[in-house]
Structure 1
Amino acid sequence: MQPPDEDLPVIQVSLGEFVLAAEQMFTVPDQLEAFLRFVLAGRLQYHDEHARISINARQGALAPHISKYQLYRDIDSVIGITKDLPFQLHMAIFPLASFRDSLTEDNHLKCPLSSPKGVIGIPLYRIPNMALGKVDRRHITRIFFPRLYHQGQNPAIPPETMTLIYEECLRPAVISLNPVDQSRWPITYSAAMTLYRDHKGRFHFGTIDFPSHLLDQLGSKLLELFQIQDGLQDAFFVHELRGTKGASHHNLHDAEKRRAAFNAVFHLFDMSIIRPEDWVVDIGLEIQHQGCILQWLTKGHRQFFNQVQYRVISEADWNNLVFQRYFPAKGTTAVKALQHFPSASYYRQWQALMARLDEDKATMVQNNQLMQWFNKLYWVPHPESDRMWSTKTGGKEWIPLPFGECGNCPRIAVNPRFHGKDAPRLDEETS
Structure 2
Amino acid sequence: MQLEPPDEDLPAIQVSLSEFVSAAERMFAPDQLENFLRFVLAGRLQSHNKLARIFLNARQGALAPPTSEFQVYRDIDSVIGITWDLPFQLPMAIFPLASFRDTLTEDNHLKCPLSCPKCLHQDVIGVSLHRIPNMALGKVDRRHITRIFFPGLYCKGQNPAIPPETMTLIYEKCLRPAVVSLNPVDRSRWPITYSNAMDLARDQKGQFHFGTVDFPSNLLNQLGPKLREMFQMQDGLQDVFFVHELRGTKGASHHDPCDAGARRAALDTVFHFFDMSLVRPEDWVVDIGLEIQHEGHILQWLTKGHLQYQIVSHADWDNLVFKRYFPAKGALTAKALQQFPSASYYRQWKALMDGNDKDEAEIIQNHRLMPWFEKLYWVPHPASDRMWSTKKGGKEWIMLPPGEPRNCPRLAVNPRFIGQDAAVVLVAGTS
Q: TM-score, normalised by structure 1?
A: 0.70
CA–CA separation in structure 1 for the residues paired with 2:221 and 2:177: 16
Cα displacement (A) at 1:94: 1.6
**Stretch moving more, 219-228 or 236-245:** 219-228
In structure 2, the partner of 1:265 is: 270
Confirm or deny: 8 A CA contact 2:77 2:249 kept in the other structure: yes
What letter matches 1:207 in structure 2?
Answer: T
Confirm or deny: 8 A CA contact 2:328 2:365 kept in the other structure: yes
Equivalent runs, 1:307-326 vs 2, <5 Å: 307-326=306-325
Could you list the per-position Cα deviations for residues 264-314 of structure 1 after superposition, in whole angstroms to 9, with x for gaps in the alignment?
33232222221111111233445677xx46x435xx1x5466111222323
- Shift in CA distance, 415/232, structure 1 to aligned 2, threshold 3 Å: farther
In structure 2, the partner of 1:296 is: 298
Q: Does 1:65 align with 2:97?
A: no
Could you list the per-position Cα deviations for residues 113-147 of structure 1 after superposition, in whole angstroms to 9, with x for gaps in the alignment?
67669876554345442211123343221112345
What letter matches 2:247 in structure 1?
Answer: R
Confirm or deny: 8 A CA contact 2:107 2:130 kept in the other structure: yes
- Once superposed, what is the RMSD of the aligned Cα atoms? 3.7
CA–CA separation in structure 2 for the residues paired with 1:112 and 1:323: 46
CA–CA separation in structure 2 for the residues paired with 1:116 and 1:423: 57
What letter matches 1:83 in structure 2?
Answer: W
CA–CA separation in structure 2 for the residues paired with 1:247 and 1:263: 12
Cα displacement (A) at 1:191: 1.4
Q: Does 1:367 align with 2:373?
A: no
Q: 3-state SS of the aligned residue for 2:199?
A: helix
Q: Does 1:94 align with 2:95?
A: yes
Cα displacement (A) at 1:166: 0.5
CA–CA separation in structure 2 for the residues paired with 1:263 and 1:349: 27
CA–CA separation in structure 2 for the residues paired with 1:120 and 1:400: 35
Confirm or deny: 8 A CA contact 1:105 1:392 kept in the other structure: no
Cα displacement (A) at 1:93: 1.7
- Shift in CA distance, 350/268, structure 1 to aligned 2, threshold 3 Å: closer
Q: Does 1:145 align with 2:150?
A: yes
What letter matches 2:228 in structure 1?
Answer: L
In structure 2, the partner of 1:397 is: 396
Could you list the per-position Cα deviations for residues 29-83 of structure 1 after superposition, in whole angstroms to 9, with x for gaps in the alignment?
xxxxxxxxxxxxxxxxxxxxxxxxxxxxxxx9964533x6665444343211223
In structure 2, the partner of 1:134 is: 139
Q: 3-state SS of the aligned residue for 2:402?
A: coil
Equivalent runs, 1:156-305 vs 2, <5 Å: 156-199=161-204, 201-286=206-291, 292=295, 295-297=297-299, 300=300, 302-303=301-302
In structure 2, the partner of 1:84 is: 85
- Shift in CA distance, 112/412, structure 1 to aligned 2, threshold 3 Å: farther
Could you list the per-position Cα deviations for residues 168-221 of structure 1 after superposition, in whole angstroms to 9, with x for gaps in the alignment?
221222234444544432210111223334455444433333344543443233
Cα displacement (A) at 1:105: 4.8
Confirm or deny: 8 A CA contact 1:74 1:248 kept in the other structure: yes
Q: 3-state SS of the aligned residue for 2:337?
A: coil
Q: 3-state SS of the aligned residue for 2:286?
A: strand
- Shift in CA distance, 211/107, structure 1 to aligned 2, threshold 3 Å: same
Q: 3-state SS of the aligned residue for 1:389?
A: coil
- Shift in CA distance, 89/199, structure 1 to aligned 2, threshold 3 Å: same
Confirm or deny: 8 A CA contact 2:393 2:406 kept in the other structure: no
Confirm or deny: 8 A CA contact 1:76 1:243 kept in the other structure: yes
What letter matches 1:157 in structure 2?
Answer: I
- Shift in CA distance, 366/174, structure 1 to aligned 2, threshold 3 Å: closer
CA–CA separation in structure 1 for the residues paired with 2:66 and 2:194: 61
- Shift in CA distance, 92/376, structure 1 to aligned 2, threshold 3 Å: closer
Cα displacement (A) at 1:416: 3.5
CA–CA separation in structure 2 for the residues paired with 1:273 and 1:154: 33
CA–CA separation in structure 1 for the residues paired with 2:258 and 2:426: 41
